[in-house]
Amino acid sequence: MSAVRWVLGGLGVLVGAYGAWLALTRQDLLQLLEIALWLGAGVAVHDAIVAGLVIGASLLGRRVLPLPWHAPATLGLVVWGSVSVMAVPVLGRFGARADNPTLLDRPYLVTWLVLTLLTLAAVAVAGLVRSRRADA
């Protein structure tokens, strides 16, 4: 492994340790349990739902899509699925309160739709480029 990778890995560990220290020293026990629940639920949702849907859609895509489109379509599904799972709290407006209108005050659905369209566009461009290279 190169020296740059070791340095970047070490910096990542230091930043993660600093974040853990901040969480442990500035949050009470209930907040720490909520953090653990949120992290665990995120992993469970990803593994149980997103991964299964991506695998199933990829297998279906292999039957329907031409070979050059397999990788871009699968990568697009992974990106879109992961971001969609992370967006569930803001799309569902969980935690919105009438007494604090500054919480969740942005057009999150529009933003998610734009991301969806950009992901589809990236998949289309990558698929077309790979198709043309395969034909050449």
pLDDT tens-digit profile of 36-81?
Answer: 998 898 888 888 888 888 889 889 989 999 999 999 999 999 899 8
User: Tell me, what's the pLDDT at 66?
Assistant: 93
Distance separating alpha carbons of residues 136 and 134, to the nearest angstrom:
6
pLDDT tens-digit profile of 78-128?
Answer: 899 888 888 888 888 887 888 887 778 888 999 999 999 999 999 999 999
Is residue 49 included in any domain, yes or no?
yes
Is residue 9 included in any domain, yes or no?
no
End-to-end CA distance of the chain: 36
Number of domains, the chain: 1
Residue 41 sits in which domain range?
A: 26-135
SS (H, E, C) 85-123: HHHHHHHCCCCCECCECCCCCCCHHHHHHHHHHHHHHHH
Query: Is 135's pLDDT higher than 90?
Result: no
Decide: 52 and 114 in contact? Cβ < 8 Å: no
Is residue 88 included in any domain, yes or no?
yes
Better-scored residue on pLDDT, 47 or 15:
15
Query: Is 12's pLDDT higher than 90?
Result: yes
Is residue 53 included in any domain, yes or no?
yes
Is residue 8 included in any domain, yes or no?
no
Is residue 13 included in any domain, yes or no?
no
State the pTM of this model: 0.68
Distance separating alpha carbons of residues 18 and 16, to the nearest angstrom:
5
User: Tell me, what's the pLDDT at 67?
Assistant: 92
Is residue 131 included in any domain, yes or no?
yes
Q: What is the DSSP letter of 68?
A: G
Is residue 85 included in any domain, yes or no?
yes
